[in-house]
Amino acid sequence: MLFSTPDVGLSLLTLALLAPLAASAQALPNHYGAPIGVETARKAAAAAIAEAKKNGWTVAAAVVDPGGVLVYFERIDGTQNGSSEVAQEKARTSAAFKRPSKALEDVVTSGKSQFLRLPGALPIEGGLPLVIDGKIVGAIGVSGASSQQDGECAKAGVDTLGPVMPEKK
């Protein structure tokens, strides 16, 4: 056997899969910070929900800490049940990989289908890292409308806290 334990094999496989991803979808350079608090998470989710309501979309919004642990969750009445879990997974993806979940979607749609099986990643637009004072404090995920609309709602949540990406020069 090549590896002494399954965990070592899985870790090496994960690293092998992440190497091309790093080149294709740049991670935020930010370090992780202290976890987002409940009130700040509620503020971000409320903005995402408000954006959805303004447009007549039914969505779920989830905010997780840098480790992917759920901090706050809210959904609009009538949102499909599956969107509750998908919103959390989009948020976890953004927190774990330090990038918008759309960056992973873009890699997959460019033909790199191996990223569909990247552990802990949901490559669908709608998840964004939350950055405060230059540190990733968590992420927000939205699901229930189209992926692009979910992304618009997530951005509304992020905008309550400041910019996600460093400005390009």
Domain span at residue 152 reads 27-159
pLDDT exceeds cutoff 90 at 78: yes
Mean pLDDT of 135-148: 98
In a domain, 10, yes or no: no
Q: Report the CATH number at residue 72.
A: 3.30.450.150
Does any domain span residue 87?
Answer: yes
- Token pair of 142, please? 């939205």
Sheet holding 127-132, edge to edge: 70-75, 60-64, 135-143, 127-132
Whether 21 is in a domain gets the answer no
Number of domains in the chain: 1
Kindly tell me if the per-residue pLDDT of 141 is higher than 80: yes
